[in-house]
Amino acid sequence: MNKTNRKTTIVKINRSQPDRTVIARAAALLRNRGLVAFPTETVYGLGANALDAGAVKKIFLAKQRPADNPLIVHIGFKKETGLYARNLPAAAKKLIKEFWPGPLTLILKKTGLIPDIVTCGLDTVALRMPCNPIALSLIRRAGVPVAAPSANRSGRPSPTSAQDVIEDLYGRIDFVLDGGQTQVGIESTVLDLSGNIPVILRPGKISYEQLKSVLGPVLQPARITKSGAPKSPGMKYRHYAPRARLIIVQGKEIDVMHWINRQITRTRNKTGVMTTIREHRYNGARIKYIGSTFSRIGKNLFRSLRELDREGVRIIYAESIPERGYGAAIMNRLRKAAGFKIVKV
Output 72 or 260, the one with its CB closest to ligand TXA. 72
Choose the binding region for ligand TXA from 68-76, 138-146, 252-260, 286-294 (rule: CB under 6 A).
68-76
Q: Between vectors from CA 172 to CA 166 and to CA 175, what angle results, nearest 5°?
A: 65
Q: Which residue is nearest to Mg ion (CB)?
A: 150
Q: Is position 43 an interface residue for ligand TXA (rule: CB under 6 A)?
A: yes
Q: Which of 30, 301, 47, 298 is nearest to 149 (CA)?
A: 47
- By the rule CB under 6 A, 85 interacts with ligand TXA: no
Residue 174 C-alpha from the chain's centroid: 21
What is d(CA 30, CA 24) in angstroms, rounded to the nearest whole number?
10
Answer with the entry of ligand TXA, Mg ion, none that 45 interacts with (C-beta below 5 to 8 A by kind): ligand TXA
Residue 276's binding partner among ligand TXA, Mg ion, none (Cβ under 5 to 8 angstroms by kind) is none
Q: From residue 256, give the alpha-carbon distance in Å to each of 118, 164, 177, 275, 342.
A: 44, 30, 40, 10, 12
Do 330 and 202 meet the contact criterion of CB atoms below 8 Å apart? no
Q: Tell me if 145 contacts ligand TXA by CB under 6 A.
A: no
Distance CA(268)–CA(266), nearest Å, equals 7
Least gap, CB of 150 to Mg ion (angstroms): 3
Q: Does 183 bind ligand TXA (CB under 6 A)?
A: no
CB 214 within 8 A of CB 206: no
Distances in Å between the Cα of 17 and the Cα atoms of 27, 115, 161 are: 16, 33, 18
Is residue 71 near ligand TXA by the rule CB under 6 A? yes
What track of x and - describes contact with ligand TXA for positions 214 through 253 (by CB under 6 A)? ------------------xxxx------------------
Q: Is 154 an interacting residue with respect to ligand TXA (CB under 6 A)?
A: no
Residue 71 binds which entry of ligand TXA, Mg ion, none, with Cβ cut-offs from 5 to 8 Å by kind?
ligand TXA
Q: One-letter amino acid identity for 338?
A: A
Using the minimum distance from each CB to ligand TXA, give the nearer residue, 62 or 249: 62
107 binds, among Mg ion, ligand TXA, none (CB under 5 to 8 A by kind): ligand TXA
Please select the residue that binds ligand TXA; options are 141, 202, 288, 333, rule is CB under 6 A.
Answer: 202
Q: Which residues of 43-70 are buried (b: 16+ CB within 10 A; e: fewer)?
A: bbbbbbbbbbeebbbbbbebbebeeebb
Residue 89 engages ligand TXA in binding (rule: CB under 6 A): no
Rounded CA-CA distance 204/175 in Å is 27
Q: Which residues contribute to the site for ligand TXA (CB under 6 A)?
A: 40, 42-43, 45, 69-72, 103, 105, 107, 119, 122, 124-126, 128, 130, 148-150, 187-188, 190, 201-202, 232-235
